[in-house]
Structure 1
């Protein structure tokens, strides 16, 4: 073995990922921190910080994003989920990225801060939330539908492999309109992605409340149908440029109201096509069984 991550489980996953890869791109590597130059911060969450970085390879330099974790256990949990996702969703014909799922390169370790990191593809516009905020007046319905098409396809890929995302919201959708690529949106933060069949009990409160299904706020197990509810919330954000319940304090009162069936407000001047609004409400159906696939 030409590398040592310092963690046997990580070593084993990296070796297995390379040995069992289905195409030339979809496998995890160990990336020495000496080959990474960390630049500015892109995002910050409960479990870590995402930075833009330069990855110095043998013949060229690549721009990437690196998520560093405050807790080794959280890193291992997310890295394990990503390893499983790549194994399930990758194929000989199409890479993960071609299926509108964020491409992951591998793992690294920051010796100065004593933190593990996950290295992934960098997307020029950052998140969907950021993209809508900056360019709303230039985003017409054709592009909005293209974004939702890409997200729905990626969600189909995950669900077809009996995986749930578990934290789907506009901040986890990556946008890049600079690539020479017909796609524009990719589902990211796949470290939460896990097997639906293992979701037998409530796994704790994670994610953005305004995008969460009522049953999750009632502490019921996560399901594919909860992802569909969250997709409906993304439809709302894309069609109105308003995050769900943006005008409300995200507190226990709002949590209770969403769990009882409160939905985001649609105004007449939003000019949402009736068929689009109908599908959005189907995704928000209070009964998970009545939501579309």
Structure 2
């Protein structure tokens, strides 16, 4: 007969805490005691926003694996500024003791976790809906390949809310810039498998990312690339308003699909178009359209089918299979783009075959030849090619890879001809200059 453990409060391991989890008791920890302790402490804190309080409290009652925490600002130590952006600023910090995890009924005190450095993202955009974003986070917060959020705080000086999350080493763009010439296809595919895994999770949960680009792929040494959620939203909300047109959107023009530039809602298929830009960056270490102004004229080109060009000297390092797949992601027809699930399965299969050296078909032979061609390029040749490529793709002063307010063609319908004729200024070009210090920009971590 199974032995039943009890805590001093009389809870047994046969008690149910959640609909699908039994109460557990071990080493002085009781999950029911933990739940009750959190409930007792509800009256000791408030974020100042009833909706946010409710979301945090529900998460602490539901499951120990999906908890958000209200973390008082004075719990943070060694706060150091990392970067400024549109929605706010990012800092690194440590938390005194860590984050509350479980109540120990023997010690009559909390046990803590996560005492290492964390990131604080202070939201300065007053129009940013914190409560809605927390609802999105709740859906996928425990999944690998998605950036984890541990709680929320508030800066007493500014009264701005702060997300407490993992501190990442780099974003994908900076990582590729540093490591590109040493990356072989096995490593490149591992990156793409990680990103498509995260994207597949989001889409399976009916979430659309809406702002997928290399600045929102964050790299943690122990876990590899993770997707930062950014402007993520439920597809059901988008479908309900599908017939409405957008006059303005937020994003970075090179990653925005043509249908959205025209004014349509963002969809899962739009995320796949954005992923095509990540595929391009993985094979070139350059962001799409880096050498062009990110203005209405670029939007016109994209809607007319223009896509980023891979340099000729790199073509023999890239399998034709890969290029064909990238251009499928960039299809002007959303229905012709692959799904996140299809992309994951394709990259996973190729990655496994490379790992086990299974070169028994044409596609795998393409990858083998591509690696051999890159290996056979001397270090001096690579350096010369890289300098040539970097010079020819020098970042245009009017390019912008931070998400910002973009006027769609639907919103500019009456103004478009005047822009083309030069009678009116291009609002998309002006907004780049204006938004350099505007709080409506989207920060990259």
User: Scaled by the length of structure 2, what TM-score is found?
Assistant: 0.59
1:203-235 deviation digits (Å, cap 9, x = unpaired): 532121111111111111010000000011100
Instruction: Return the offset for 1:72.
Output: 3.8
State the alpha-carbon separation in 2 of the partners of residues 165 and 138 from structure 1: 30
Report if the CA contact (8 A) 1:82-1:191 is conserved.
Answer: no
SS state of the match for residue 250, structure 2? coil
Report if the CA contact (8 A) 2:82-2:91 is conserved.
Answer: yes
Structure 2: any 5+ residue segments left out of the alignment? Answer: 1-41, 99-111, 340-445
State the alpha-carbon separation in 1 of the partners of residues 131 and 148 from structure 2: 13
Q: 1:10 matched to which residue of 2?
A: 52
SS state of the match for residue 289, structure 1? helix
Q: 1:193 matched to which residue of 2?
A: 232
1:29 equivalent to 2:69? Answer yes
Instruction: Return the offset for 1:272.
Output: 1.3
SS state of the match for residue 282, structure 2? helix
- Residue-pair matches, total: 276
1:155 equivalent to 2:195? Answer no
1:24-60 deviation digits (Å, cap 9, x = unpaired): 3332110110011363333333211111222222567
SS state of the match for residue 243, structure 1? coil
State the alpha-carbon separation in 1 of the partners of residues 66 and 83 from structure 2: 25
Q: Given the superposition, is the C-alpha separation of residues 78 and 284 from structure 1 closer, same or farther in structure 2, using an over 3 Å criterion? A: farther
User: Scaled by the length of structure 1, what TM-score is found?
Assistant: 0.88
1:116 equivalent to 2:155? Answer no
State the alpha-carbon separation in 2 of the partners of residues 173 and 202 from structure 1: 28
Instruction: Return the offset for 1:78.
Output: 4.2
Q: 2:280 matched to which residue of 1?
A: 236
SS state of the match for residue 134, structure 2? helix
Q: 2:90 matched to which residue of 1?
A: 50
State the alpha-carbon separation in 2 of the partners of residues 238 and 114 from structure 1: 39
1:62 equivalent to 2:116? Answer yes
1:62-84 deviation digits (Å, cap 9, x = unpaired): 2111111113441xx24422333
Q: 2:374 matched to which residue of 1?
A: none
Structure 1: any 5+ residue segments left out of the alignment? Answer: none
1:273 equivalent to 2:319? Answer yes
Q: 1:80 matched to which residue of 2?
A: 132
Q: Given the superposition, is the C-alpha separation of residues 72 and 62 from structure 1 closer, same or farther in structure 2, using an over 3 Å criterion? A: farther
1:231-278 deviation digits (Å, cap 9, x = unpaired): 111000011101000111112211221122210002232221111111
State the alpha-carbon separation in 1 of the partners of residues 287 and 130 from structure 2: 26
1:194-273 mapped onto 2 (5 Å cutoff): 194-199=233-238, 200=241, 201-202=244-245, 204-270=248-314, 271-273=317-319
Q: Given the superposition, is the C-alpha separation of residues 43 and 216 from structure 1 closer, same or farther in structure 2, using an over 3 Å criterion? A: farther
Larger radius of gyration: 2
Q: 1:171 matched to which residue of 2?
A: 215
